[in-house]
Amino acid sequence: VPSPRPSPRSPAHLSSALPPLGRHRFSWRGPHFDMEESDRADAAATASGIVDTLRQLLSVMGALMTSQAGQAAAQDASEARSLPAVAKALRRLWFTTPLSGEGWGSKEQAVWLCRLLSMTEGSRAGLLSFYGAALLCVDALVVFAEVSFQEVGLQVDDAFVAGAVAIQDALRGRHWEQFQQWPADRRCGNGAPSPLLSADRLPCTMRRVFDLEGVRLSRTQAAGLGVAMLMPGSMTLSMTCVGAALLIKTAQERRSVVAAGEGDGDGARWKATQTRCLEHAHELLRRKTCPIEITYIPGKDTPQQLKVCLYSLRDPICALPVGSVRGLDGGTGGESVARLAHGACCALRPTGSADTFRMRVYEPAPLLDIVLHDGIEVKRGDRLAL
C-alpha cells in the first residue's frame, strides 16, 4: 500500500526548512534538544519509580516478617538510593533470617545468592546496566519473598506481585534502551537524604573500589572521614590509596579472566565475575549455616562477663579479630567478637573463607582486657561450653 502523501505540515516538509542539525541540535530552543531532554527526564523519573517500588516491596516484606532482621531491612530500604544498595539490604536480610531449608535447599540458595552477588559485583566492575541489575534485583526479591513468607505461614499477596510486575513492565517499556546505557549504580529514587558525612558523598570511583554503595558509617567512621577531609594533603593520600586499590583490583580481575579461559572482553570478565560470585555464595552459605556456638556456664568465682574473640591462624600475636578490617563482602554480616553473661549463648559467624580460627577468652576491663585463655583452635560448626 503506498504511503499517503505528506501534508504541508508533516515532518517531511518541515525538515527541509530546518537548519542543519549539526549546529543546532543542542541549542536551547532546538526542538530535538527539547525532545531529548524530556525523554531523559521521563526515563529518570521512571528509574526513580523502579527503585522506589523495590524499596517499598523490601520494606513491606521486612515489616511482615516481624523480626529484628526484618525491621533492620526496612530501615536499610528507606535509606537506599540505588539498586546495589537495595540488593545489599536484601542480602543482609537473607543472612540474618533463619530458614528451615525444607522448601529451599542449599543448592537453590547458592544459585540465588550467586545472582544477587553478580548484580553488585557486576555493578562495581561496570559490566552491568541499570536494566539488567533491576531485572536481577526484582527476581531475587520475589523469590526470597515466597520462601520467607512461607516460613512464617504467609503467602505473597496480589499487591506484592503487582508491584513486581509493574517493575518488569517499566523496564521493558519505551525507555529500555536508555536503561541499558545507564550504569547499574545510578543514583535515583526518593530515599532518605544522605548525611553530610556519609559514603554516598564520596566519588563514584571510590565507592566502587571499596564497595561502599549502601554502607552506613558509624559515628566514629563519620568523624574520621570529616577529620580526613579537613587535613592538608588528605586528597592526595586518598587518591593514592584509590590508585593502589585499582591496580590490585585490575590485577585480580586479569588473573581471574585468565583462569576462566574465556579470552578477553566483557564476556570473559562477566564469566569470571560469575565464577567468583558462586564461590563467594558458597562461602556465605557456609558462614550462615555453620556458626560457632558458645555457651557460658558459670562456676565458683567466675567473672560476671566474658569476652570471646576469634583470630586468624596467620595472626600469631592476635592483633585484630577476624573481620576488624572490612573486606569485600559488602557488609553481609558476620561476628567474631561477643560478650557473654552468666548462662548466655552466642553464635559467631566470622567473615572470610577460612574454616579454622583461634579463639581467645578475656575478662573485660576498662583499659586492657585480661586474658583468661590464651587460645584454642575452633572450626565452623563447633559447639563449645566455657
Q: 346 forms bridges with which residues in the sheet? A: 294
Phi, psi (rounded to 5 degrees) for 205: -60, -40
CA distance 45 to 197: 27
Query: Coil, helix or strand for 351?
Result: coil
User: Which residue in 158, 170, 159, 167 sits closest to 140, CA to CA?
Assistant: 167
DSSP 127: -
CA distance 80 to 65: 20
CA distance 182 to 48: 13
CA distance 337 to 318: 13
Distance in Å from the first CA to the final CA of the chain: 88
Q: 363 forms bridges with which residues in the sheet? A: 370
> Mind spelling out the 3-state secondary structure of 61-117?
HHHHHCCHHHHHHHHHHHHCCCHHHHHHHHHHHHHHCCCCCCCCCHHHHHHHHHHHH
Phi, psi (rounded to 5 degrees) for 356: -120, 140
DSSP 183: B
> Going by C-beta distance under 8 Å and a sequence separation of 6 or more, which residues neighbour residue 100?
151
User: Which residue in 372, 384, 385 sits closest to 297, CA to CA?
Assistant: 385
Residue type at 307? K
3-state class percentages of the chain: helix first, strand second, coil last, to nearest 5: 55, 10, 35
pLDDT in tens, the chain (386 residues): 333 333 333 333 323 333 332 333 333 334 444 447 788 889 999 999 999 999 999 999 998 887 888 888 888 888 888 999 999 999 999 999 988 777 788 899 999 999 999 998 898 888 899 999 999 999 999 999 999 888 888 888 899 999 999 999 999 998 999 999 999 989 887 766 666 666 666 677 767 776 777 676 666 766 666 666 667 776 677 667 767 766 676 666 666 666 666 666 677 888 888 888 999 999 999 999 999 999 999 888 889 999 999 999 998 888 889 887 654 445 676 789 999 999 999 999 998 889 999 999 999 998 889 999 988 899 999 999 99
CA distance 53 to 212: 23
For 285, the grid coordinates are: 552459605
